[in-house]
Amino acid sequence: SPGRAMMGIMPPHIYERGPVGIVSRSGTLGYEAASQLKEIGIGVSTSVGIGGDPINGSSFLDHLKRFEADDETEAIVMIGEIGGLQEAQAAQYARDHMHKPVVGYIAGLTAPKGRTMGHAGAIVSTVGESAAEKVKLMRECGVKVVKLPSDFGTTVPKVLRR
C-alpha cells in the first residue's frame, strides 16, 4: 500500500496512493498498471502480486473480497493469465457479490494448449483455462476486460467516471 507499507520486490517510484486496488498473477503487468495509473494522476490503494504458480498463498477471490470491503478502494484491476480457474471464480464472485467495478486482463491469448509458458502455473490443460475462455467468461460476468496491458490507463478512469 503506497505510503504505508511495501513488501516483496516492487519498484516504489511507480506507486502513488489512490483509489485503485491491483491484484495480479504477473508482477511485471501489475507494475505496468500502477505506472500507467500514476502517469494520469490515479493512484493505488493496494497492489498485490499473487504469483502464477498453481498453489498460491492467496487468491484473486481473497483480494476481491478485501477490495470490496475497503473504503479506500473504488475500482479493481485484476490481471490473470492462462492456466487454472482462479480468474473464472473471481469473475463469478464479482458478478454475484461486488458493487465496485473490475477491470481485467488475461495474458496468454496466443499460448498453445498443453505447453508451459514461463512457470508451472501457466499451462492450459483443461476446459476453462485458456485466455480466450477466461476473457469470455469475465466479460459475461461484467468485468471490463482490456485487450492490451497498455489499455489500463484509458479504461480505469472510465470505470471510475473520471
CA angle 62, 108, 36 (to 5 degrees): 70
Residue 52: the pLDDT is 81
Report percent pLDDT > 90 for the chain.
68
Whether residue 63 lies in the annotated active site: no
**Catalytic one of 63, 97, 99, 119:** 119
Question: What average pLDDT does range 75-98 have in this prediction?
Answer: 94
pLDDT of 113 higher than 80: no
Rounded Cα–Cα distance for residues 20 and 146 (Å): 16
Average confidence score pLDDT of the chain: 89
pLDDT, position 114: 60
Assess contact for 79 and 23: CB atoms under 8 A.
yes
Query: Confidence class of residue 143 from pLDDT cuts 50, 70 and 90?
Result: very high
Domain boundaries, the chain: 16-154
Q: Which CATH class is domain 16-154?
A: alpha beta
CA distance 21 to 48: 8
